Amino acid sequence: MTSQESSVDPEQGVFVNSVCANCGGPAQYLCEACGQTGPRYCSETCQSDHWEKGHASVCASVPSGTESEEHDNERNSRALKRSSSKVYSRGNVAQLINLKQRRSTLTSNTSTTLINAPNSNDPSPAIDPVQADEFRFYMQQVYRIIKPVVLCIVLSVLWVKLSQAPSYFIGSSGPGTSGATGSSSDSSPISASIYTAAILIGQIIVATVVIVFLFKYGFTKILVGFFMFVVLFPLGFMSYILISNIISSLSIPLDYITLIFALWNFSAVGLVSVFWKGPLLLQQAYLTVMSSLMAFSLTGLSSWTTWILLGLLAIWDLIAVLCPFGPLRILVESSKENQREIPALLYSVNAVWLMAAPKLSNQIQPTISSTSLQTHTDSSPSSFISSVNSVSTKTSAATTPSGEDIPLSENLSHNIYNRNIEVGVHNNTEVNNSSNSLHTNGNISENNELSDDEEEDERNGLKLGLGDFVFYSVLVAQAATFDWITTIACIVAVLTGLNATIFLLAIYRKALPALPISIVFGMLFYFVSRWMLVPYAQTLGVFLVAV
């Protein structure tokens, strides 16, 4: 080919060769596999055209037909991985996926070739540096999302164990202790439990639908206000209940003045960091603690109610996220189309400098465009995310059936958002795009780096809804009321489920429900360990002592 021959002129450098093999215009890229001796291209489209026109048979990367297929598959899987890492970005899921695909194909075809051109490297068949980088990034993301989940679960278990400590006090043992002790008894009839669980899940569904509706039609201010209110509820009231329980169990003499002062501080700073600007770490910490508080409050339910509720939630999650008419799916899609940020409670791993007052996003700047990274778009309120939670809790609190003062709204919001494992910035689900942009903005601003960082930001962190945190913790906290063996077994089960879900996320590249797999594993492990492992261990222990 003329272009190829003209390109082979190493003495004169790249410029001699820079004629596109397909269209003849100025070219900046070359075929990665062929290296310096290969054809030059000006764009990906020309490369694809040229591939079809005959480069496929001469390319150095294609010794045989099957290999080219593998190469394609590898490229596709890379695209898949990249886009899947952003599986659910609330705003620009589609864009992210597209961007990723474009990016991945572009990088695989051009940028890597561009980078490799001077070195004339052949892509190593074993591990491509780009691919290895991607793996590393992905693993890091997984690690970063598992850390807060583990922390939330551990905190919930801690609250449960503290509240179950023998009480030396007269007076105020709040609903927590009574709930904890009550939950171990199976005396409540199953039908009552089913009824309660059904009511709870009904409330959750209603809240989800309402929030989706509000979001879809743009009543963002109401949503934000709602969320704010909802965040305040667990931070204030729940902490009070928890601390009263702990004080009762541990016999700490404390006066109301100090307690109210401490609670006021805790809640106010929580509100500020979640809904307004603040350190990312603090915001993540507050969201984790809030989730554990909500989970703790749910342990007030009787045990059968909790298990039935979890089972129904898993089913609901599946429906809401995967079915075309599911509200959560609608939420994702509408945020994609409208480019609006979803004020959801999402925990994002890469949250950046937070958002100020919710500038709701009708201006979701697609992160994909990355050129227009705008710092102010970040303002997507992380508070949104948290607020969503808070909002949900609130609604539920109002409607709790008698006997349970569990804020359902919290559950609701959590459910709503937790269904989605998203990749994206924490601050806003909606802001996924913005968060991505945010992220990118932040990262770019911080690193002043090139496409690498941007790409990373885009591939950015997984996002996990806060509801997922809560319900994982609810499951483990419920297991914690029985025995340590069940606790550990359920922790392992839930984390395994989370890993499996993230893995599926990589394969399917779209928003996936985070609850079903973990809940199924968790329930299975709990019942097996409760009815088989614990008596077994106890019998063995007796044996040891006796002998």
Partner 1 sequence: MPPSPKTPPQEILSICKKYFIIGCFFLPWLWVVNVVYMWPLIKREDIGTQIKKYLYLSIFGAILWLIILTTWLSIFVTNRIEWGQFADSISVAIPKGV
> Active-site residue numbers?
317, 468
CA distance 353 to 355: 6
Out of 163, 273, 291, 429, the residue judged to bind partner 1 by CB under 8 A? 273
444 binds partner 1 (CB under 8 A): yes
Query: Least Å distance between CB 426 and partner 1?
Result: 15
Q: How far, CA to CA in Å, does 337 sit from each of 73, 209, 359, 461, 517?
A: 29, 18, 18, 21, 29
Nearer to partner 1, 11 or 255 (CB): 255
The strand pairing partners of 41, in sequence order, are 29
> Cβ contacts of residue 44 below 8 Å, gap of 6+?
105, 106, 109, 110
Out of 138, 159, 353, 417, the residue judged to bind partner 1 by CB under 8 A? 353
290 binds partner 1 (CB under 8 A): no
In terms of Cα–Cα distance, which of 189, 215, 165 is closest to 416?
215
524 binds partner 1 (CB under 8 A): no
278 binds partner 1 (CB under 8 A): yes
166 binds partner 1 (CB under 8 A): no
Out of 26, 125, 279, 541, the residue judged to bind partner 1 by CB under 8 A? 279
Nearer to partner 1, 173 or 203 (CB): 173
169 binds partner 1 (CB under 8 A): yes
Q: Is the dihedral of CA 234, 235, 236, 242 positive or negative?
A: positive
264 binds partner 1 (CB under 8 A): yes
Nearer to partner 1, 363 or 374 (CB): 374
Among 5-13, 144-152, 250-258, 342-350, which window interacts with partner 1 (CB under 8 A)?
250-258
| 511: helix, strand or coil | coil
Out of 1, 127, 132, 281, the residue judged to bind partner 1 by CB under 8 A? 281
251 binds partner 1 (CB under 8 A): yes
CA distance 27 to 19: 5
Out of 11, 64, 126, 171, the residue judged to bind partner 1 by CB under 8 A? 171
Among 41-49, 228-236, 262-270, 307-315, which window interacts with partner 1 (CB under 8 A)?
262-270
DSSP 210-234: HHHHHHHTT-HHHHHHHHHHHHHHI
Query: Least Å distance between CB 168 and partner 1?
Result: 5
Query: Least Å distance between CB 393 and partner 1?
Result: 22
253 binds partner 1 (CB under 8 A): yes
Size of the site for partner 1 (CB under 8 A): 40
- Site for partner 1, residues 185 to 244, rule: CB under 8 A: 243-244
Token pair listed for 51: 């591939």
**Is residue 23 within 8 Å of residue 45, measured between CB atoms?**
no
257 binds partner 1 (CB under 8 A): yes
In terms of Cα–Cα distance, which of 396, 385, 383 is closest to 206?
396
258 binds partner 1 (CB under 8 A): yes
- Site for partner 1, residues 34 to 93, rule: CB under 8 A: none
In terms of Cα–Cα distance, which of 441, 268, 416, 418 is closest to 351?
441
Out of 255, 402, 543, 546, the residue judged to bind partner 1 by CB under 8 A? 255
256 binds partner 1 (CB under 8 A): yes
DSSP 258-271: HHHHHHHHHHHHHH
Out of 11, 12, 64, 170, the residue judged to bind partner 1 by CB under 8 A? 170
CA distance 383 to 274: 4
Assign 3-class secondary structure to 52-121: HHHHHHHCCCCCCHHHHHHHHHHHHHHHHHHHHHCCCCCCCHHHHHHHHHHHHHHHHHHHHHHHHCCCCC
Among 183-191, 201-209, 264-272, 475-483, which window interacts with partner 1 (CB under 8 A)?
264-272
CA distance 418 to 431: 16
**Is residue 352 within 8 Å of residue 439, measured between CB atoms?**
yes
In terms of Cα–Cα distance, which of 485, 496, 377 is closest to 437?
377
- Site for partner 1, residues 445 to 464, rule: CB under 8 A: 445-446
Summarize as ranges the residues that interact with partner 1 (CB under 8 A).
Answer: 168-172, 243-244, 247-248, 251-259, 261, 264-266, 268-269, 272-273, 277-282, 352-353, 375, 441-442, 444-446
